[in-house]
Amino acid sequence: MKKWQVAVVLCLAAIGSWFGLTTHAQAAEYTIATDTTFAPFEFQVKGGQYKGIDIDLLKAIAKKEHFTYQLKALSFNAAVQQLSANQVDGVIAGMNITPAREVTFDFSKPYYTSGVVMAVAKGSTVKNFNDLKGKTVALKTGTAGAAYGKSIQSKYGFKIKYFNDSNTMYNDVKVGNSSACFEDYPVMSYGIKNGIPLTIISKQHNAGDYGFAVKKGKNAALLKKFNAGLAAIKADGTYQKIINKYLHAKESKITGETASSRTFFGLFSQNLGTLGKGLWMTIELTVISIILATLLGLILGVLGVMPGKLGPAVSSTIIYIFRGMPLMVLAFFIYIGIPDLIGHGFKIPAFIAGMITLMLNEGAYTGAFVKGGFQAVDKGQMEAARSLGLPYWKAMRRVVMPQGIRIMIPSFINQFIITLKDTSILSVIGIVELTQTGTLIIARNFEGFKIWLMIAIIYLIMITLLTWLSNWVQRRIN
């Protein structure tokens, strides 16, 4: 085999082995999805651990019923979609039991009852629902608050804006982009008590029950264990202790944070380990994906300039499809759509799905500029090589490709930078990279400006280093 063929085979073998090890490492009796930012029911604390009413209830129930589980923290929307696609066995995320959801999911007995309230920024002129006419209301996708807001929209004449997490929704109201938001009372009350500058101005509406969900007709044993465990922890007082812990305690007692740790440097030092893990995930995804995307791009580029019609047609089609498809849509299709289509319990680990997503998307862009780089080499170079008796592929490898790749080097570095930034989109399928890490930290302490400033500085440092690398490479080539 040629050297490049050996390299490709070894790379694919390594990926296959890593896939097997990852799948084995992630194996657990049950995989349970939860939300990422729905305090006090679920949120991340210092050190990267998840806490909250739902998390502690699940832990206590699992202990009572002697089952193990792997927790997956996602956005609420992604958690529900993964349950529908059999990517997870159950969801506990402050999920309201509704007739529409009962068509698709089986629910446990209710473990909490909550109502929806409206909150506005301090000093707002909005005092009741009638004041919302012509204004914008922020809602969190898939929640009881979103359903209630939608149900009264036509009556009170307001516009709606949707968000995937609570903290972003709160901040949209805080800065004045939206006039109000609808949220479950315990969640809104907890947030206000711990720093969110909003005010509740309505009574509770549409009280609903939270339930643990499994897919319709699936995991009946897990549902039975949850119900039995829930009854047991209610009987022995554990349930009430958990509720009191989160609804009647200050945030600092739960998260370990104090006022002195809210400075920029205090927040940075306190969350350094968590940010480091997110940064490493970003770098790991970027490096592996760019290697695979480069291999795919080179193949597409070669196909694009080969003689005949088949190769160029295949190259153009693949580039057109994956360059034209939004990255988020592609991520959902690979992670949720394909397992749903195949069925039979087939699952794709989030990291593998993210890596494939970036490989296909970035590989299509790489293929386009590789093709352009080869076409930029004077045609006389190929003609001269062929006239000397070199076969087509040898002429490509020895004459055209070295010149074309030299032209493409700046584009390769630029694509590396784009891939680095594109990893942030993969948080939608549950990958906790640098941007998602920032979201989780903010959900705990509500220090949006300081945390996003840290994230921005880290990205700028990495991109600056890559830019220096690009300039150094170009100088060496010149």
Structure-block tokens of residue 153: 């929209």
pLDDT tens digits along 205-251? 988 899 999 999 989 999 999 999 999 999 999 999 999 888 875 55
Q: Using the CB atoms, write b or e for 179-192: b if 16+ within 10 Å.
A: bbbbbbbbbbbbbb
Q: What pLDDT, on the 0 to 100 scale, is given for residue 25?
A: 38
Q: What pLDDT, on the 0 to 100 scale, is given for residue 260?
A: 55
For β-strands 69-74 and 30-35, DSSP reports them as parallel
Evaluate if residue 112 carries a pLDDT over 90: yes
Evaluate if residue 180 carries a pLDDT over 80: yes
Say if residues 106 and 223 touch (Cβ distance below 8 Å).
yes
Q: Hey, do 30-111+211-256 and 113-208 end up sharing a CATH topology, with the first three levels equal? A: yes
In the sheet with 105-107, reading across from the earlier edge strand, the strands are 69-74, 30-35, 90-91, 213-215, 105-107
pLDDT tens digits along 114-141? 899 999 999 899 999 999 999 999 998 8
Mean pLDDT over residues 247-272, rounded? Answer: 66
Q: What pLDDT, on the 0 to 100 scale, is given for residue 19?
A: 44
Which of 16-30, 142-156, 229-243, 407-421 is least confident?
16-30
What are the residue ranges spanned by the domains of the chain? 30-111+211-256, 113-208, 270-477
Rounded Cα distance between 337 and 61, Å, is: 31
Name which residue leads in pLDDT, 459 or 307: 459
| Phi, psi values for residue 454, rounded to 5° | -60, -50
Mean pLDDT over residues 296-324, rounded? Answer: 89
Name which residue leads in pLDDT, 136 or 382: 136
Architecture of domain 30-111+211-256: 3-Layer(aba) Sandwich (3.40)
**Taking the model in full, what pTM does it have?**
0.68
Which of 20-24, 83-87, 433-437 is least confident?
20-24
Confidence of residue 27 (pLDDT cuts 50, 70, 90): very low
pLDDT tens digits along 345-379? 677 888 899 999 999 999 999 988 888 888 878 88
Evaluate if residue 11 carries a pLDDT over 70: no
230 three-class SS = helix
Evaluate if residue 343 carries a pLDDT over 80: no
Q: What pLDDT, on the 0 to 100 scale, is given for residue 467?
A: 83
Q: What superfamily would CATH give domain 270-477?
A: MetI-like (1.10.3720.10)
Rounded Cα distance between 301 and 375, Å, is: 9
DSSP-derived letter for residue 126 is -
Q: What pLDDT, on the 0 to 100 scale, is given for residue 47?
A: 66
Evaluate if residue 255 carries a pLDDT over 70: no
Angle at 176 between CA 171 and CA 180, to 5 degrees: 75
User: CA of 267: how far to CAs of 196, 205, 212, 227, in Å?
Assistant: 17, 37, 34, 40
Evaluate if residue 6 carries a pLDDT over 90: no
Angle at 247 between CA 243 and CA 253, to 5 degrees: 105
Rounded Cα distance between 89 and 91, Å, is: 7
Name which residue leads in pLDDT, 23 or 253: 253
Class in CATH terms, 113-208: alpha beta
